[in-house]
Structure 1
Amino acid sequence: MKLLSATQTRAADQATIQAAHIRSDELMERAATAFSDWFMDRVGQEAAGEVHVFCGPGNNGGDGLVVARQLHLAGYTVRVWLLPATTYSADFIVNRQRLAAEVSCAELNPENLPPLPAKATVVDALFGTGLSRPLENAAAALVEHLNKSKATVFAIDLPSGLFADAAQPRNSAVVRAHYTVGFELPKLAYLLPQNAQFVGEWQVLPIGLNQEFIHNVAVDNYFLDTNFLVGRLPKRPKFAHKGTFGHALLLAGSYGKIGAAVLAARACLHGGVGLLTVRTPAVGYTILQTAVPEAMALTDPATNFITELPDLKPYAAVGIGPGLGQEVATVEVLRQLLRHAKQVPLPLIIDADALNLLGTHRELLDELPPNTLLTPHPKEFERLTESARDDYHRLELLRAFCQRYHCYCVLKGAYTALGTPKGLLYFNSTGNPGMGTGGSGDVLTGLLLALRADQRLSALDAALVGIFAHGLAGDLAAQQSGEAGLIAGDIVRFIGPALASLSN
């Protein structure tokens, strides 16, 4: 699904109003009703206690007034607090008039803010996506007051003070919500680590925004879900054989790190590759033949690390990096691989130590073949580019890096971001904190290698399917082991079911 900017979201609202022949306050009623229904399903009257709704002077405040009215009609005890202002939006004024007289409604006194009980429930409807500058004066003081309280905070659309599309200045006043409820489509702000302390758990509710507008609007950011990916993994033909799905080469492992090669190899096999050859130093031979009998072991002449590049003619794709080590001879192997793959061309997946070698020898970046797939975590990515000022800057670095080197880059983490040569970013929706464990990245490399070896998939589809299926396999594994007990080998076992959910 698409991630709209704040400006595009407002345009989508207007398109909906025009296409559906409704008033803006009717669309506001629709959104607030979705929030109220969700809130009442989650928080019963007794658990909610007294609900304090804090409203700003704009349309976010109008949403809050509608929610207050609806909760009151449902039997909740509601108190409304209005932030002082000289002007109010038209829909705010309409819904202020509709609020029942018996609902407590008072203008806030910045010098005497209302105390909140430890178990109070707060609805934050101060400011939404229209905010373009940091909160000041009374608004900032109120936000700090809310953050110091022990109340449970539910934010409508965005926590007040948080920018929708950019990083706010450091030390800005931003509501620390426990729950954020948005409408129709996620917002980029929900997906970034630096905003997690403000957004809390988030939920997006449908409100019937105009689908023609959403379909036609051009965006740079997408959020992956099952609907977006179903059908991108072709169904296996009845008369297929091992040659149909490609022969992959994995260059991985060094003394003490053969386990990384084993995990990547197993993931590649479970990812559906037709044939797999693993190039490791001689020390890995017995381990591989025992642990991964389905793969062919092609050992290097050296005992402890890879020193020579084998003949690449038999292979449809090559992966390099898991447990590779950073020996001088290994640098030369990487250099030769890049040059050969650029001439052929040959799809490459570059991970782990191979990424660190690229970071140390940045001149090799200019040797990257088009459509190479790199899989760094944030620190590895910074070694390839520069230190990021914040998460938004990191995304711009990712976009620029992929455009400059005509590559695909998987920036790993919660909501893993895939950058593309066209400058588009795709954020993944699957995965869980249990996957933050040694070997998880090796599993992703192996899975991506299998998908790149399958010539029926484009580079983009292979990358999208790979990151989504990897996270989904982790989610399926966590259902059995729990997040704390999850290990990389568990992820491997669920790759097959994850891929099956995306096949035609």
Structure 2
Amino acid sequence: MKILSLNQIKDADQYCIDNEDISSIELMERAARKCYDWIINFFDKKLKKVILLAGRGKNGGDGLSLAKMLSEHGIIVTIYELNISNNISKEFIFTKKKIIKYGIELKYINDGDPYPSFKNEGDCIIDAIFGIGLNRPINNPYWISFFHFINEKKFKYVISIDVPSGLFIEEKKDILYKRIIKSTHTLTFQVPKLPFFFPDYEDYIGKWFLLDIGWKEEYTHHMSVKNFFIDKKSIHSIYKKRKKFTHKGNYGHGLLIGGKYGMMGSMVLSAKACLRIGIGKLSVYVPSCGYQIIQTLIPEVIVVTDPKKYFISKIPTQNLSSVNTIGIGMGIGKNPETSFALETFLKKNKKKSLVIDADGINILSDRVELLSYLPEETILTPHYREFSRLYGTWINDYQKLDKIKEISIRYTIYIVLKGAHTVISTPDGELYFNSTGNPGMSTAGSGDVLTGIITGLLSQGYSPKESCLLGVYIHGLSGDLASMEKTEESIIAGDIIDYIGKSYQKIRK
């Protein structure tokens, strides 16, 4: 799914109006109806009173239309019209006339007025002040203070229409958090907005939900974008169903390299995940102290050991002709001999597909010049701290994205930056944000599982891009399925592996 710019969203709205023989007001009412359906379903007859804050633009028109629908349903709605902008849309004027005629209580808040107490008017507030239409920061001290006042009231439910008011959907130099409504739920139209994927905005956006308002897909299909949302539809198109007359040779041979004394669990998790994702054959290369551990816990793999007992000192570069993909770095440590072994390996390996994780990335951070030795389309899978070691810190999430794109393009590699919405950066400057996963996956070993999954997919013949997209989606979906039975708090990395099979079942449907 494409993530559109502000102008592209406006163009898509207009295309819908021009080619569906509907007016902007009818499109507004369609959007309001989708919000109404979500709210009625969410509250399940428990909602009795609502406060609605309406600006005077199109978002305010959405809000007024929604207010009428809620009132017709028997919910008591108190509307506050905010005189916060001189721009008044025709949609707002049209719907306001309906509201007055219908008899819903309409109050006004002007610059300098005492703030309303909202006493007994409801514990749910609907924010329909600006939406995506805001093009400059709120500078009026009265309205800045009013937004702060709303946030301090700590309503149980704050539902924003399209985006929380005060939030820009495109980068601004100064991100003024105190001038944004803090939402518990955001009901956004048709496509996700880029800030929804940023940790910086988590407390303002809350949980967000996509509402389909019936855009014409043929128009957005031809739009050129660089940012995408990984959804089930896109993953289903990547997934390759197995043919009947196949054998293990059809699904690749992978090699995982890593582990040190006390950290062999990383290799166990990666190897198990690699097998569960469907690789045909898997070898592992570990220090000799890991031989019995691996052989006992994972009898399906071929175990090769390093001459050293407690750490890796040499990485094989010979006899790799049958190996399709190498995953390296899980629990490997940063012993000087290990670091030198990785450096030597990278300088000699020119062809084998690589997935590099954990201390493999940390070793690269100490020797950034080694990035130039990576084969094209190598995949790095850092978390935020590992990436900051590699390329320094960032001021905000926009700059973070610029940095991962810069590295991907410069070295022709993929970066899988792990997080709540894991983001994949491609060599051609595209960004893909994952839709699956939950906070319960913030547990030791979760990243090792992801590396095993991506290595296994790459070995099976998926392209590097497909392996990243399908890998992060299955990884997150497996965590989601695990959380449904075990709760987020109790998930461990091994649980994610256990649900890979069920994730495949979901993808096939």
Which TM-score bucket, shorter chain as reference? over 0.9
Q: Does 1:142 align with 2:146?
A: yes
User: Is 1:443 equivalent to 2:449 in the alignment?
Assistant: yes
- Partner SS, residue 349 of structure 2: helix
> Who is 2:490 aligned against?
485
Structure 2 CA distance for aligned equivalents of residues 377 and 286 of structure 1: 30
Relative distance call for 1:278 and 1:432 in structure 2 (3 A) is: same
Q: Cα–Cα, structure 1 residues 26 and 403, in superposed 2: closer, same or farther, change >3 Å?
A: same
Q: Secondary structure at the match of 2:333?
A: coil
Aligned 8 A contact 1:55 1:64 in 2: yes
Aligned counterparts, 1:215-364, within 5 A: 215-310=221-316, 311=318, 312-342=320-350, 345-364=351-370
Q: Are positions 1:462 and 2:462 aligned together?
A: no
Q: Distance in 1 between matches of 2:367 and 2:222?
A: 43
Q: In the alignment, what sits opposite 2:54?
A: 55
Q: Which secondary structure does the structure 1 equivalent of 2:196 belong to? A: helix
Structure 1: where are the runs of 5+ without partners? Answer: none
**TM-score computed with the length of structure 2 as normaliser:** 0.95
Cα pair distance change 1:500/1:51, threshold 3 Å: closer
1:365 aligns with 2:371: yes
Task: Identify which range, 117-126 or 257-266, moves more after superposition.
Answer: 117-126
Equivalent in the alignment of 1:114: 116
2:220 maps to 214
| Contact 1:120/1:150 (8 A) holds in 2 | no
- Residues 377-396 of structure 1 mapped to structure 2, 5 A cutoff: 377-396=383-402
Shift of 1:338: 1.9
Q: Does the aligned pair in 2 maintain the 1:49–1:120 contact within 8 Å? A: no
- Aligned partners of 2:100 and 2:106 also within 8 Å: no
Distance 1:272 1:430 in 2: 20
Q: After TM superposition, give the deviation of residue 391 of structure 1 in Å.
A: 1.2
Per-residue CA distance 1:1-55 (angstroms, 9 max, x = gap): 111112111111001000112111111111011111211222356x434311111
The superposition leaves residues 64-103 of structure 1 with CA deviations (integer Å, 9 ceiling, x where unpaired) of: 1111121122221111111114341121111111113421
Change (3 A) 1:372 1:87: closer
Structure 2 letter corresponding to 1:59 = K
Letter in 1 for 2:331: G
Which is further off, 93-102 or 15-24?
A: 93-102
Structure 2 distance, partners of 1:71, 1:485, is 39
Name 2:129's counterpart in structure 1. 126
Distance 1:112 1:190 in 2: 33
- Which amino acid is 1:487 matched to? I
Deviates more, 1:55-64 or 1:350-359: 55-64
1:357-407 C-alpha deviation (Å, 9 max, x unpaired):
011111111111100001000111111212111112111111111111101
Which of 402, 408, 414 is the equivalent residue of 1:408? 414
1:3-22 correspondence runs (5 A): 3-22=3-22
- 1:34 alignment counterpart: 34
**Higher mean displacement: 243-252 or 100-109:** 100-109
CA distance 1:274–1:87, change in 2 (3 Å) = closer
Question: Residue 329 of structure 2 aligns to which amino acid in structure 1?
Answer: G
Gaps of 5+ in 2: none
The whole-number CA distance in structure 2 between the counterparts of 1:170 and 1:337 is 47
Q: Distance in 2 between matches of 1:241 and 1:333?
A: 34
CA contact (8 A) 2:148 2:178 kept: no
TM superposition score normalised by structure 1: 0.96
What is the CA deviation profile of residues 433-471 of structure 1, one whole-angstrom value per residue up to 9, with x for unaligned ones? 11100000001111111111112x111111111111111
CA distance in 1, matches of 2:501, 2:40: 39
Question: Which residue type is aligned with residue 184 of structure 1?
Answer: Q
Question: Is the CA contact (8 Å cut-off) linking 1:232 and 1:503 kept in structure 2?
Answer: no
Amino acid at match of 1:373: I
Size of the aligned set, in residue pairs, is 500
Q: Partner residue of 1:74?
A: 73
Q: Hey, what's the Cα distance between the residues in 2 that align with 1:220 and 1:437? A: 31
Which whole-Å CA distance do the structure 1 matches of 2:243 and 2:349 have between them?
29
Structure 1 stretch 83-92 or stretch 19-28: which is displaced more?
Answer: 83-92
- Contact 1:347/1:371 (<8 A) preserved: yes
Which string of whole-angstrom CA distances, capped at 9 and with x for unpartnered residues, describes residues 206-264 of structure 1? 11012111111111111111111114232222221121111111101001101111111
Inter-partner Cα distance in structure 2 for 1:231 and 1:67: 36
Take 1:87 and 1:224, find their aligned partners in 2: how far apart are those partners? 36
Q: CA deviation at 1:489?
A: 0.8
User: 1:52 touches 1:79 (CA, 8 Å); kept in 2?
Assistant: yes
State the secondary structure of the residue aligned to 1:370: coil
Whichever residue aligns with residue 113 of structure 1, its letter is Y
- What is the rounded CA distance, in whole Å, between the counterparts of 1:279 and 1:375 in structure 2? 19
Alignment root-mean-square deviation, CA: 1.6
